[in-house]
């Protein structure tokens, strides 16, 4: 059988493996298409973010370049490569050049295993709207996410400056910490779908799985999104994705008030544009990843498929896929416009002491559910699951809350300092008033409202 006939025979294969027999020119067309789509999505997302944030802040956003300002990000992208490039004298030239290339390359590579749609036809030729797929596609995405840390930390180190180095170390610690929580949240998807292939995970959400879904009360053939069946995993993934991409309120590596621009402070011109491009492509990648794993991928939502049976055929899958991605990108923008930046110790404590333990407990619970569904009767199964839920709730309610140490007064803090030491600000970053101000307040204490407001000099 020729490759062309194999493709025609597999045109209706629900596992979307037709790309395995694609000709080289078809793969090349899809490769260029993915590259162009990511560039266009990046330009759109930048303007999308600026317009949405401006709308929330009740102010005009980009409105001068192009129709209603929609070409502003395009002009910014064309301007950056032609700006003056300044390289620090103390920079390691080789690593300084390689770091932005690593960040941009890993960002583009991660999209190679994302399915955009089902099987489509070019005349008499059939292929899947996916560049490639392997049995461990999800691990490919996690590997690209891990490798992007190298670009960040190398950029901070190679700049030869203190602040970029601090930003690179802070960013690498943040990305590694929240990548652990993100990886654990995906384990629940593996357990439910029984595969790590992205196209098969999309298909599993369309067909359902009798052994996993029936225990939750769904019919085995009912299409169901894992965002509903595995709601804790979906919530943890969304939080981890925001921390992984260094976005507000977790944009601590680029905290302007502390580290200027973070790891890319010493970068300019085209190299800065590559970091900027990698940041927004990472946002698109994690949104597309969430769409594939939890939101049914390129398939239309249930209300649409109920009255339109052809919604998942042909090129229509692109519409549903990008609609879900844009909704998730709106979530990124909404968070940036509403939430303040977290303190770094709170952020790391939340990742290691909240997200990871909750994820581990949830995975153990799912494992027991699968075991109970296969080994126990219905009565024993529900009684055991209910008992576990009650025990976990009781432990959570009776767990002793962490007691905060008593806050020392200013006088106690001064008295506790060793002789000859220099005064330092307290841990909560609230600088106490000066001795002159304290004496002035003490002298004015007996005064009534409306009295003399002048402060007596000491």
- pLDDT tens sequence across 91-106: 888 999 999 999 889 9
Residue 427, pLDDT > 60, answer no
* 23/374: higher pLDDT: 23
Tokens found for residue 437: 């101000």
33-47, 324-338, 414-428: least confident range: 414-428
Residue 395, pLDDT > 70, answer yes
pLDDT at 1: 43
User: How much of the chain exceeds pLDDT 90, in percent?
Assistant: 20
Exposed / middle / buried, residue 303 (Cβ in 10 Å: 0-12, 13-18, 19+) = exposed
Exposed / middle / buried, residue 180 (Cβ in 10 Å: 0-12, 13-18, 19+) = middle
Residue among 15, 324, 10, 12 nearest 198 (CA): 15
pLDDT at 405: 62
pLDDT at 329: 94
* pLDDT tens per residue, range 15-66: 545 566 778 888 888 899 999 999 999 999 999 999 999 999 899 888 888 8
User: For residue 83, which phi and psi values (nearest 5 degrees)?
Assistant: -80, 160
Q: What are 334-339's contacts with CB under 8 Å, separation 24+?
A: 334/52, 334/56, 335/242, 335/247, 335/248, 335/249, 336/49, 336/53, 336/247, 336/248, 336/249, 337/52, 337/53, 337/56, 337/57, 338/56, 339/248, 339/249
Helix H or strand E encompassing 231: helix 231-244
pLDDT band (50, 70, 90) for residue 402: low
pLDDT band (50, 70, 90) for residue 191: confident
Of the segments 228-232, 303-307, 342-346, which one has the largest average pLDDT value?
Answer: 228-232
Q: What average pLDDT does the structure give for the chain?
A: 79
Judge contact between 248 and 339, C-beta under 8 A: yes
Of the segments 118-132, 339-353, 373-387, 414-428, which one has the largest average pLDDT value?
Answer: 339-353
Residue 325, pLDDT > 90, answer yes
List, as one string, the DSSP characters of 123-165.
Answer: TTEEEESSS---TTHHHHHHHHHHHHHHHHHHHHHHTT-HHHH
Judge contact between 253 and 259, C-beta under 8 A: yes
pLDDT at 331: 92
Among the residues of 57-121, which ranges form H helices? Answer: 72-79, 93-109
Q: What is the pTM of this model?
A: 0.79
Within 10 angstroms of residue 427's Cβ, the number of other Cβ atoms is 9
pLDDT at 326: 94
Mean pLDDT of 318-339: 92
């Amino acid at each position: 059988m020729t490759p062309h006939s194999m493709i025609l025979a597999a045109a209706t294969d629900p596992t979307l493996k037709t790309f395995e027999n694609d000709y080289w020119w078809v793969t090349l067309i899809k490769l260029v298409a993915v590259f162009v789509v990511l560039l266009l999505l990046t330009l759109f997302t930048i303007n999308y973010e600026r317009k949405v944030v401006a709308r929330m802040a009740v102010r005009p956003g980009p409105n001068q370049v192009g129709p209603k300002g929609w070409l502003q990000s395009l002009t910014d992208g064309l301007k950056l490569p032609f700006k003056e490039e300044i390289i620090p004298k103390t920079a390691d030239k080789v690593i300084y050049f390689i770091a932005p290339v690593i960040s941009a390359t890993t960002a583009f590579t991660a999209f190679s295993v994302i399915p955009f749609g089902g099987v489509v036809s070019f005349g008499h030729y059939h292929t899947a709207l996916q560049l490639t797929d392997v049995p461990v596609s999800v691990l490919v995405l996690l590997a690209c996410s891990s490798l992007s840390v190298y670009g960040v930390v190398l950029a901070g180190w190679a700049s030869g400056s203190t602040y970029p180095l601090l930003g690179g170390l802070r960013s690498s610690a943040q990305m590694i910490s929240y990548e652990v929580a993100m990886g654990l949240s995906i384990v629940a998807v593996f357990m439910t779908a029984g595969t790590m292939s992205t196209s098969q995970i999309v298909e599993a959400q369309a067909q359902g799985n009798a052994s996993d879904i029936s225990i939750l009360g769904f019919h085995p053939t009912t299409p169901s999104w894992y965002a509903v069946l595995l709601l804790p995993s979906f919530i943890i993934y969304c939080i981890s994705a925001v921390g992984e991409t260094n976005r507000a309120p977790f944009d601590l590596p680029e905290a302007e008030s502390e580290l200027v621009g973070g790891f890319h402070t010493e970068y300019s011109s085209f190299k800065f544009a590559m970091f900027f491009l990698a940041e927004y492509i990472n946002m698109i990648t994690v949104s597309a990843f969430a769409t594939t794993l939890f939101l049914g991928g390129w398939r239309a939502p249930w209300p649409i498929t109920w009255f339109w049976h052809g919604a998942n055929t042909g090129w229509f899958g692109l519409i549903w896929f990008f609609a879900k991605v844009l909704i998730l990108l709106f979530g990124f923008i909404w968070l940036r416009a509403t939430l303040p930046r977290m303190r770094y110790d709170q952020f790391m404590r939340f990742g290691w002491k909240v997200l990871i333990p909750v994820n581990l407990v949830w995975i153990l619970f799912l494992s027991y559910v699968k075991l109970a569904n296969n080994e126990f009767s219905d009565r024993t199964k529900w009684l055991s699951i209910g008992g576990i839920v009650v025990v976990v709730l009781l432990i959570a309610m009776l767990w002793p809350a962490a007691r905060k140490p008593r806050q020392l007064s200013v006088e106690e803090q001064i008295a506790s300092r060793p002789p000859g030491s220099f005064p330092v600000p307290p841990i909560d970053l609230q600088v106490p008033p000066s001795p002159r101000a304290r004496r002035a307040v003490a002298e004015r204490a007996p005064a009534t409202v409306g009295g003399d407001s002048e402060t007596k000099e000491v």
